[in-house]
Amino acid sequence: MSRFFSNKFYKLIPYIPGEQPKKTDYIKLNTNESPFLPSDSVKEAVAEESKRLMLYSDPECIDLREKLSKVLGVKPSEVVVTNGSDEILNFAFMAFCDENHPIVFPDITYGFYPVFANLHNIPYTEIPVKADFSIDINDYIGINKNIVIANPNAPTSLLLSISDIEKIVSSNPDNIVIIDEAYIDFGGESAIKLINRYKNLLVTGTFSKSRSLAGARLGFGVADKDLIADINTLRYSTNPYNVNRLTLKAGMAALQDNAYYMEKCKKIVDTREYTARQLENLGFEVLESFTNFLFVKSEKIDGETLYKELKRRKILVRHFSLERIKDYNRITIGTKEQMEVLIEKIKEIFKENNL
Ligand code: PMP
């Protein structure tokens, strides 16, 4: 740290992203990306738009917002697009939380939430999930604090029903409830349909997972237009060109190719169920997944050792050192072939170590 770094931040512990190895000889199952290529029209749209890179992007992102709002069944004024969904989450923490408006979230959830809270000096409480890692909605009913819940949750892969989400939102009318739906296309029912009934609900989403665009950085927020206007005040006060030209076009083309992506989602769900059964056959405990990853534990080998042994064999999975989940690994669903290699390598590890 330099002597110039502001005192405000000297205790800040940044978010640690999953490894992004330079070498491509890994089977990469550690950051919940899609194993499938973007569709051809995305590649073509990006190549075509590259001719216009000397010009700034549209700060209103109007074409993409119009298209996205149609797909989501809302109005363009109820949508904002951002540089990944991390950015809309950051804006939401900034816009709606402060010393007098604290936020709560589960203790086992997306690791960026406490980082955003610390970054903006927001008091926060982590509410323990139950022993089976499920969220007890009674902990959130009428809590009278801002709330952020990933649904489905990460890294647990578990889902809350839309009626449970509605109970949480309706019982906290004077607080913002953020539902982070990064993984919703792999299992759950979106809370977007509730935004017209609840002025305090913000739903966030991403093109990183189900639409094979993690590297393009495209996220979005959907809420009542007044909440979206607040987010835009912050967006225009930080970076009005937050979504670049190539990404705007990639997003448009991806929405156009909806059928392609929904077919890939189905493949991922089928491969997820196949992998879950294979891992169970090897004695793993596998949480029921509504996402593009599995959260798994084996009595035979601890989470960190399995992570290291797989890495030696050129497979990357995610291990968290947090006490409650240190025995687990989070494994992204790749192609069927990649998952077959994973299973083979786990068998090899068990055999070599007489497990
Ligand atoms: N929310 C959750 C629960 C996530 O796991 C992720 C991915 N790391 C994000 C949001 C952010 O994804 P992105 O910024 O790529 O949209």
The answer to whether domain 7-36+259-352 and domain 40-257 are alike in fold is no
Which runs of consecutive H residues, i.e. helices, occur in 257-302? 258-281
Class of domain 40-257: alpha beta
- Residues near ligand 1 with C-beta < 6 Å? 84-86, 110, 150, 154, 180, 182, 206, 208, 214, 219
The answer, as to whether pTM is greater than 0.95, is yes
41 burial class (0-12, 13-18, 19+ CB within 10 angstroms)?
middle
Q: Which amino acid is at 137?
A: I
Q: pLDDT tens digits, residue range 202-229?
A: 999 999 999 999 999 999 999 999 999 9
Choice from 85, 115, 243 to test ligand 1 binding pocket (greatest atom count within 8 A of CB): 85
pLDDT in tens, 151-186: 999 999 999 999 999 999 999 999 999 999 999 999
Backbone φ and ψ for 149, nearest 5 degrees, come out as: -130, 130
DSSP 151-192: SS-TTT-----HHHHHHHHHT-TTS-EEEE-TTGGGS---GG
What are the sequence ranges of the domains in the chain? 7-36+259-352, 40-257
Task: Please name which of 221, 241, 217, 219 lies closest in space to residue 229, comparing C-alpha atoms.
Answer: 221
Give the whole-angstrom CA distance, residue 66 versus residue 55.
Answer: 21
- State the distance from the centre of ligand 1 to the C-alpha of 10, rounded, in angstroms: 25
Residue 178's closest CA among 250, 230, 213? 230
Nearest to 80 by CA among 222, 196, 179, 238: 222
Percentage of residues in the chain with pLDDT exceeding 90? 97
From the alpha carbon of 155, which atom of ligand 1 is closest?
5
CATH number at 7-36+259-352: 3.90.1150.10
The closest-lying atom of ligand 1 relative to the alpha carbon of residue 208 is 15
- The predicted model gives 133-139 an average pLDDT of 98
What does each C-alpha distance from 116 to 20, 94, 154, 178, 217 come to in angstroms? 22, 8, 17, 13, 18
Compute, in angstroms, the gap from residue 305 CA to the centroid of ligand 1: 26
Segment 174-200 shows an average pLDDT of 98
What does the angle CA 253 – CA 255 – CA 260 come to, to the nearest 5 degrees? 90
The residue count of the chain comes to 355
Q: Residue 349 Cα, ligand 1 centroid: separation in angstroms?
A: 31
Span from the CA of 287 to the centroid of ligand 1 (angstroms) = 20
What is the reported pLDDT for 338?
Answer: 98
Q: Given the structure tokens 């665009």, which residue do they identify?
A: 213
Is residue 23's pLDDT more than 90?
A: no
How many whole angstroms from 29 Cα to the centroid of ligand 1? 15
**Per-residue pLDDT band at 24 (split at 50, 70, 90):** confident
pLDDT band at residue 22 using 50, 70 and 90 as cut-offs: confident
